[in-house]
A and B are shown apart, each in its own frame.
Chain A
Amino acid sequence: MAVTDILARPFASWSQQKRQGWATILVAVAFAIYPFLTDDDSNIDTIANAMSYATLALGLNIVVGFAGLLDLGYAAFFAIGAYYYGIFTAYQVMPHWSSGWEPLAAVGLVEKINQGGGDLVHFTMSFWLALPTGALVAGLFGVLFGAPTLRLRGDYLAIVTLGFGEIVPIVARNAESITNGAAGLNGVKGPTIPAWFGFEGYSFGVNATPYYYVGMALVAILIFSSIRLRDSRIGRAWMAIREDETAASAMGINLRNFKLLAFAIGASFSGFTGVFFVSKLQVATPEMFNFSVSSMLIVMVVLGGMGSVWGVVVGAALLQLLQTWILPRTTDVIRAIGETVGSDFLMSADLVQWTQMFFGVIIVIMMLFRREGLIPATRAQPKLEMEEQHADVKRGGFVNVDRIEKWHPGTGNALEIKDVTVRFGGLVALNKVNLTIPAGGVIAVIGPNGSGKSTLFNAITGLVTSEGSIKFEGHELIGLRPDEVLARGVARTFQNIRLFPKLTVLENVLVGQHCRLKTLPFGAIFRPPSARAEEQGALRKALDILGLFGNRLTPRANHTVAGLSYANRRRVEISRALASRPRILLLDEPTAGMNPNETLELAEQIGELNAMGLTILIIEHKLDVVTRLANRVTVLDHGDVIAEGTADEVQRNEEVLTAYLGRAHRAKIEAQDAAKETANG
């Protein structure tokens, strides 16, 4: 960081965006003119190889860095792209010619080859057609491999992908009739540019320079796509999954689809590169795609910084530099020293042999001392001014409420919970619980710890399986996934705060809007006006919601939530839930850990949300909050509803006093009653 800081100093007056833009252009121009400055073809070739590794690292970064799915068999998709192109251009698979091939021959996909035993078919797919279709094929395999495995926890996924990464080369080795086995496909066709209006056509052959430019274009395309995806609804969903799967699901993200999408897009980057790589080498052997390739890519991503687009490109460049320049040159130097001092040991040194040792050492050092990589993905946080840091406890609810749309709760019951039972093995956590929440009301659930309050929330939001019936506005919720429940309009907060720690306040709130937005990968990458408008609208809404809390959250919008105070994290969680535009809000101990003043402030704000028409179900231990807010109170104990009524009624209920409130509370209530009687009498 220090180096970039020093470089940036003269341009301090420019906006960060402008600086980054110019830096990118500068780097691109430097790469574009480099081939004209060097006579050494091998340098160009080395850089072209580095570019293909950079594209692979970019793809892996989507899977590992963005979505947090540790894929140790990523080279499998590289192999699939490579063999796809190889098989359709090499002279390996050659069926007999029949007239059925004529139409394909007409569009240039196959050609007829005359041979003694009869005419044969030779596949001649164009490189330019193979690039996108290879990406597509690899992406399909990504879905195929991903579908059964993505339900697994992260560490299992690592081992299964390791297995897949091993199987693909084995299949390539064993399916000799198609792949020519261990000897590999030879004579894979290099790309050509066909003749076109006076242009006489061009064949890449073995000249490194055209590959260099194609590689450069690929890197540029993939960097661009990675950044666009990262800064979109899709990227936010991936990072939310990486940070906390349960919370991501509860905030409306379809885990299976978005994990598969990460896998498929990552795989398609790899397939893309496979086509390029094999056309450049013009051979494909199983050994090109074994575990050492996958793990080298992991090293690149780890070195550069997981989730950091520029980081992984730098990581790939550094590793290539290490292998092709630093280690050989250092070996030369050591040997020269050996010759001078007459040491046979030094003279026979060969550091290139040690390449993989360095990989291991790099991983260990990075994990021990710099887990975020050389160029971390999380950006520097803007410093706060004094007045921004300072926030008085305010009374009287929200600020700028008029920017938030009011709710129209309607009439009747919002949520109807009938005979809901939840079991954990032999333990009955909820036993035939009944609860009705009228539209526009505030219902509180109280009870001792372990009485099933949070389990009730988990049952409503689909995080645990339950029996019975939970109807929201007439629709059954049981059986729905958490993200489907949220889409229906049921949002929640968690007792122990489950934000996405490495995302900023703003990003957390934007994730809340996930289910209300529609952008898909195409829209995220190309940003048509509709996608742009949607994103800007989402941003505005998120800022409006943060603005409700005055200057508590707004100045911190671009801070990661990990650094926020406890109370502020609670506020972000409520904002995130509000961002999904719920029709009922489930708050699980929203004031836990807050001091009395903050508690009062938040209680008033919750009351105001209700006044704006939002139906609320709240779990709370602080009885003054409950009394202030709730129309009705339900008391749970050991999974049973033991009382139901107004706050005042349940406080006098014998069973509630015994199970939860205790003797001290009874004394307090009796004292209050006595005081009232004295006042009246």
Chain B
Amino acid sequence: MTSGELFLQQLINGLNLGAMYSLLALGFTLVYGIMELINFSHFNVFMVGAFIALGVLRLMGLDGQNVILSGLPLVAVILVAFVVTMFSTGMIGVGIERLLLRPLRAVTGPAAMILTIGVSYILFNIILIGVGGDTRNFANPLPSVSWHFGEATLRLRDVLIWGITIVLMLGLTYFVQFTKLGKGMRATAQDPEAARMMGVEVDNVVGLSFFIGSALAGASGLIFGLYYNYAKVDMGFSAGLRAFTAAVLGGIGNVPGAMLGGVLIGLIEAGSSQLIGQAWADVIIFSILVIVLVFRPAGLLGRQAPNKS
């Protein structure tokens, strides 16, 4: 490959990773924006999402690499997989919030964050014990349509991932900016107390932000499966940390920031894997996290978190 082709190929790869991290980062950012909580269970909601998607595809008769679909069946299968996965993880998120985090809402200090570490552990072990710790092949029903630019390849898969991500992000942006509930969400992020007094149902808004965040984590898990063709119980940790870095990079609490941060982290990962080696990618990404936090804690687009003093 020429260096131009390499660049193009890594750009394609980076955008795929970026799509995945952006969706995952949105969940961190929505919850942080509203509750100032780093939700560690999000790491493994993502992982559970990938396994739910795996199960859904299997139920539809898609197992391994041997079934290739096209046309309407393909669209239907993809749609069903996304909808079912996102709804399931969304409900998991709502369950975590309602059953476990709501009792701690009034408690100050790190209790809620520590609790989410425990929840993360529980989700991890449910999959570990229920499904097992080995790598599971992810069905890939996409036909191997691809376009070549020199030696760089753009696959149908890549276009699909980008398309779905863009649709989800536009939907979220529309929701947050233009609907009544979205307005309530933004108001709660600014000042929960004032929002409550103005008639915003803060409980519903918090539940909703968990639902949306977790649903997007589910979508992200499905994209991980489509991209890497596998799911594994420990996949949540490093993907989650990268997505969190993305949220911080963009400005935690800031929705467009999470999208931008996710894409940047995806590109950085692809680039550094190419230039320095996959083994050091994590080190580079965490160094970025530290550098951003130290020199520009508000992130690239600025933080939009509650005005608590």
A166 contacts B118, CB within 8 Å?
no
B113 contacts A295, CB within 8 Å?
no
Q: Which of A165-194 contact B (CB under 8 A)?
A: 166-167, 170-171, 173-174
A356 contacts B124, CB within 8 Å?
yes
> Per-position contact with B for A349-386: 1 when CB-CB < 8 Å, else 0?
00001101101111110011001000000000000000
Q: Which of B124-176 contact A (CB under 8 A)?
A: 124-126, 128-129
Give the shortest distance, in Å, between A472 (CB) and chain B (any CB). 26
Give the shortest distance, in Å, between A46 (CB) and chain B (any CB). 23
Q: Which of B283-302 contact A (CB under 8 A)?
A: 283, 286, 289-290, 293-294, 297
Bound complex: CA of A156 vs CA of B104, how far in Å?
A: 20
Q: For A363, give its contact among B118, B241, B293 (CB under 8 Å).
A: B118
B118 contacts A360, CB within 8 Å?
yes
Give the shortest distance, in Å, between B232 (CB) and chain A (any CB). 15
Give the shortest distance, in Å, between A146 (CB) and chain B (any CB). 11
Bound complex: CA of A371 vs CA of B109, how far in Å?
A: 10
Bound complex: CA of A170 vs CA of B129, how far in Å?
A: 27
Give the shortest distance, in Å, between A17 (CB) and chain B (any CB). 30
Interface of A is mostly: helix
B114 contacts A173, CB within 8 Å?
no
Residues of chain B with a CB closer than 8 A to A474's CB: none
> With A356-B124, A357-B129, A364-B118 as given contacts, are A149 and B283 in contact (CB-CB < 8 Å)?
no
Q: Which residue of B lies closest to A162 (CB)?
A: B241
Interface of B is mostly: helix
> Per-position contact with A for B86-123: 1 when CB-CB < 8 Å, else 0?
00000000000000100110010111111101111110
Q: How many residues of B contact A (CB 8 A)?
A: 41
**Most chain-B Cβ atoms within 10 A of its Cβ — which of A149, A163, A174?**
A163
Bound complex: CA of A362 vs CA of B118, how far in Å?
A: 8
Q: For B279, give its contact among A72, A154, A163, A173 (CB under 8 Å).
A: A173
Residues of chain B with a CB closer than 8 A to A162's CB: 241
B294 contacts A151, CB within 8 Å?
yes
A166 contacts B129, CB within 8 Å?
no
- A70 within 8 Å of B by Cβ? yes
- A302 within 8 Å of B by Cβ? yes
Residues of chain B with a CB closer than 8 A to A357's CB: 121-122, 125-126, 129
A155 contacts B38, CB within 8 Å?
yes
Q: For A148, give its contact among B113, B120, B290 (CB under 8 Å).
A: B290
B120 contacts A360, CB within 8 Å?
yes
- A158 within 8 Å of B by Cβ? yes
Bound complex: CA of A360 vs CA of B37, how far in Å?
A: 18
Residues of chain B with a CB closer than 8 A to A354's CB: 125, 129
- A539 within 8 Å of B by Cβ? no
Q: Which residue of A lies closest to B126 (CB)?
A: A357
- A325 within 8 Å of B by Cβ? no
B117 contacts A298, CB within 8 Å?
yes
Q: Which residue of B lies closest to A364 (CB)?
A: B118
A353 contacts B113, CB within 8 Å?
no
- A533 within 8 Å of B by Cβ? no
- A291 within 8 Å of B by Cβ? yes
- A97 within 8 Å of B by Cβ? no
Bound complex: CA of A159 vs CA of B103, how far in Å?
A: 24
Residues of chain B with a CB closer than 8 A to A298's CB: 114, 117
- A164 within 8 Å of B by Cβ? yes
Residues of chain A with a CB closer than 8 A to B237's CB: 166, 291
B290 contacts A163, CB within 8 Å?
yes
B36 contacts A155, CB within 8 Å?
yes
- A152 within 8 Å of B by Cβ? yes
Residues of chain B with a CB closer than 8 A to A368's CB: 100, 103-104, 115
> Per-position contact with A for B222-240: 1 when CB-CB < 8 Å, else 0?
0000000000000001100
Give the shortest distance, in Å, between B96 (CB) and chain A (any CB). 10
A159 contacts B244, CB within 8 Å?
yes
> With A155-B36, A364-B100 as given contacts, are A174 and B280 in contact (CB-CB < 8 Å)?
yes
Give the shortest distance, in Å, between B116 (CB) and chain A (any CB). 9
Residues of chain A with a CB closer than 8 A to B115's CB: 363-364, 367-368
Residues of chain A with a CB closer than 8 A to B126's CB: 357
Q: Which of A370-414 contact B (CB under 8 A)?
A: 371
- A8 within 8 Å of B by Cβ? no
> Per-position contact with A for B200-243: 1 when CB-CB < 8 Å, else 0?
00000000000000000000000000000000000001100100
Bound complex: CA of A368 vs CA of B105, how far in Å?
A: 11
Q: Which residue of A lies closest to B121 (CB)?
A: A360
A163 contacts B103, CB within 8 Å?
no
- B282 within 8 Å of A by Cβ? yes
Bound complex: CA of A598 vs CA of B117, how far in Å?
A: 47
Give the shortest distance, in Å, between A141 (CB) and chain B (any CB). 14
> With A155-B113, A356-B124 as given contacts, are A160 and B290 in contact (CB-CB < 8 Å)?
yes
Residues of chain B with a CB closer than 8 A to A149's CB: 290, 293-294
Q: For B297, give its contact among A72, A152, A356 (CB under 8 Å).
A: A152
By Cβ-Cβ distance, the 7 closest A-B pairs, closest first, are: A363-B118, A360-B121, A163-B286, A357-B125, A360-B122, A367-B115, A364-B118
Which A residues are closer than 8 A to B by beta carbons? 68, 70, 72, 148-149, 151-152, 154-156, 158-160, 162-164, 166-167, 170-171, 173-174, 291, 295, 298, 302, 353-354, 356-357, 359-364, 367-368, 371
20 A/B residue pairs, CB under 8 Å, sorted by A: A70-B110, A72-B117, A151-B294, A155-B36, A159-B241, A159-B289, A160-B293, A163-B290, A164-B286, A174-B279, A298-B117, A302-B114, A353-B129, A356-B125, A360-B118, A363-B118, A364-B118, A364-B119, A367-B115, A368-B100
